[in-house]
A and B are shown apart, each in its own frame.
Chain A
Amino acid sequence: MTTLVILPAGIAWLLAAVIAPLDGRRPLWGWLAATGLGASLLAVVLLLVRVLREGPVEVVAGGWPEGVGITLRADVLGASFAAVSLAVVLVAFVHEVLLGVRSRTFPALVLFLAAGLSGLFLTGDIFNFYVFFEISMTASYILTGYREENSQVRAAFIFAVVNLVGSVMFLSGIAGLYHLTGSLDMEVVAGRIGQVELSSIIPIATVIFVAFSLKIGLFPFHFWLPAVYVGSHAPVAAILSGAVANIGSYGLLRFGADVLPDALSFGAPVVLVLGVVSIVYGAMQAVSRHDTSEVMAYSTIGQVGYILVALAVGGPVGYAAAVVYSIVNSLNKALVFLAAQLRGPLAGAAFAVGAFSIAGVPPAVGFVGKIALFKTSIEAGGLLETTALVVLIFAGSALSFVYAFQVYQRAFLAREYRNNKRPSPRATRVLAISLAAFVLAVGLWPEPLLVLGTESAALLLEGLR
């Protein structure tokens, strides 16, 4: 049953090729694409269950011997990221189909994006990772300009240019890794990199770190992010922050913790400082903004900081927290971006759940993420560091509580909102509410999520032994 590794990307890709020439504005093709995404998601979930039971699944494309062909590998880390990303893409896409697709290429682009995402999360080959990464990024450049408002097109251009520079840096990093180890297989690279001197790994690790930080929008590399999120249409923003941003956190975990662990532990202080600055900066900026999507854009910068802090602390607890928090964050962001634009009964409730979740209030799933982070900071070592991190995370959460409810107040409680009698289609509201219910449900029964975190951390640490 190794076929399961190929299915998620394969279904989406084939369907994208079929739908591309058709008029995607017709609901029929939209629903066909949604079905395809659903099938991909189902395959990923089945794969995830299998991987949890029996360990990583591996296929070498073309029936080549191992080490020669391109390896497709699904492990618990990749499969969990693939599952959450595809779920977010599916929900956002269905939302847009319910609202009415306005561009004929939209379904095909979303399918290409999904194919790229599932391909890159389920590969064991560095260069293959890059190729799928480019497929999904190119699709997302075009999606940013969806609806073709002038500011959106400008945002798409900036997004594309900045991220292309990031991609090129990542490509150089790949070339460096290949030069040092003579292989592109992640496992082989991770095995051989131990014999290489640390001083030659550090530049490569820095380049790769900067490349992924650009994607994820970490503090000094965040400058493109607000412009893009403010401009883009709500479902697209949900896809960008809930699914595409996962590439960055997955890349940091995979390349930092799995492939280049020595470099990560060497650079941990820098990563920690950047994470802390990102948390503070993002939260401060978010509190001072008014526009909903602008607040959420800065909030994204802040949330990324938590993942970085967890990554820097490392160890079983830190990596588990990073995985859990990434998953939690993409669910939160998808919910908040989708619900913020909705009007009518219960739309405010769905948004409130997302806001609670970002602030880390139980029983929303954000609470689980915050608990994992507190555990991480207790692991961090010295009393001073622990106290500082706990205070920081607490302050960050308090600030996110403030900005989340400022937005809530402005968007849902203000008089203008009440006067605005134009409820969104019921189906979109039902969708947002079911996503909110899912967020609450995972928060109430977090064991599966925590298992994913600990299993991923165990997998990442296996290489170190």
Chain B
Amino acid sequence: MSAPINNTTSILTQTVAKLLLLPTFVAAFAILVKGYAQPGDGFSAGVVASLGVLLQYLVLGRREAERLVTVRNAPTIAGAGLLLSLSVAVVPLFLGDPVLTHYPRPGEDVVYLGTLELITPVLFDLGIFFLVFGFAVGAIGAFARTISEQEEYAGPGTEQLEDDT
């Protein structure tokens, strides 16, 4: 595979895209944790974070983008997120409460980390974040792979049809 679509993106765009990756994650994390006092939740955080990765794909091409650790492990991240959320939902059953009950219950004492309340919904949303992020990045990666494969073989349909007949 030749170098990614470097000729269409200038060095400026590439630098900015690289620089933007970390800030998008920070912004996503902010959306994730502020969801308990203001609009925001795990889903939108996951979407924002995966947009950061999508930008890498668009600007730097597949090769460069797949150097990121998160991209290679996207399916695992999604699965782990789903498991985390589901277990947070299921754990109350063992304590004799209905499914999806969150702790501490209203009125009870809450442990603070700075201004963040450490309650089980944070954990649940974290799971959702990983699920959405993993799914979106995995899907982007899969589509990117198909595009670069297509470039490699110069049109997949025709040659396979010849095979069949």
Contact = CB atoms under 8 A, between A and B. Distances in A.
A63 interface: yes
Contact of A14 (B75, B76, B87, B102): B87
Interface string B84-109: 00110010110001111110010000
Interface in A1-55: 2-3, 6, 10, 13-14, 17-18, 20-21
A464 interface: no
Given A21-B75, A61-B100, A62-B98, A6 B82 contact: no
A162 interface: no
A355 interface: no
Given A6-B93, A17-B82, A21-B75, A59 B99 contact: yes
Given A14-B86, A17-B86, A2 B98 contact: yes
A14 B98 CA distance: 17
A61 B83 CA distance: 18
Contacts of B82: 17, 20
Contacts of A13: 86
B99 A17 contact: no
Nearest to A108: B79
A189 interface: no
Contact of A60 (B79, B98, B102): B98
A62 B101 CA distance: 4
A65 to B, nearest CB: 11
Contacts of A14: 83, 86-87, 90
Contacts of A21: 75-76, 79
Most buried by A among B82, B83, B98: B98
A72 B76 contact: no
A40 to B, nearest CB: 14
Interface in A113-130: none
Contacts of A2: 98
A10 B98 contact: no
A12 to B, nearest CB: 11
Nearest to A20: B79
Contacts, number: 42
Interface in B44-101: 75-76, 79, 82-83, 86-87, 90, 92-93, 97-101
Contacts of B92: 63
A59 B89 CA distance: 14
Contacts of B101: 62-63
Nearest to A19: B79
Nearest to B97: A63
Interface size class of B (residues with CB under 8 A): 10 to 19
B104 to A, nearest CB: 12
B98 A63 contact: yes
A2 B92 CA distance: 12
Given A17-B82, A21-B76, A62 B87 contact: no
Contacts of B98: 2, 59-63
Nearest to B86: A14
A21 B76 CA distance: 7
B89 to A, nearest CB: 8
Contacts of A62: 98-102
Nearest to B75: A21
Contacts of B97: 63
B99 A18 contact: no
B100 A18 contact: no
Given A3-B93, A17-B86, A10 B99 contact: yes
Nearest to B164: A150
Nearest to A13: B86
A59 B92 CA distance: 13
A157 to B, nearest CB: 16
B99 A72 contact: yes
Contacts of A6: 90, 93, 99
A2 B105 CA distance: 20
Contacts of B79: 17, 20-21
Interface string A51-84: 0000000011111000000001000000000000
A72 B75 CA distance: 30
A165 to B, nearest CB: 23
A2 to B, nearest CB: 7
A151 to B, nearest CB: 14
Contacts of A18: 83
B112 to A, nearest CB: 22
Nearest to B85: A17
A61 B87 contact: no
B13 to A, nearest CB: 35
A153 to B, nearest CB: 14
Given A14-B90, A62-B99, 19 more contacts: A3-B93, A6-B90, A10-B86, A10-B90, A13-B86, A14-B87, A17-B82, A17-B86, A20-B75, A20-B82, A21-B76, A59-B98, A61-B98, A61-B100, A62-B98, A62-B101, A62-B102, A63-B92, A63-B101
Interface of A: 2-3, 6, 10, 13-14, 17-18, 20-21, 59-63, 72
27 contacts: A2-B98, A6-B99, A10-B90, A10-B99, A14-B83, A14-B86, A14-B87, A17-B79, A17-B82, A17-B83, A17-B86, A20-B75, A21-B75, A59-B98, A60-B98, A61-B98, A61-B100, A62-B98, A62-B99, A62-B100, A62-B102, A63-B92, A63-B97, A63-B98, A63-B101, A63-B105, A72-B99
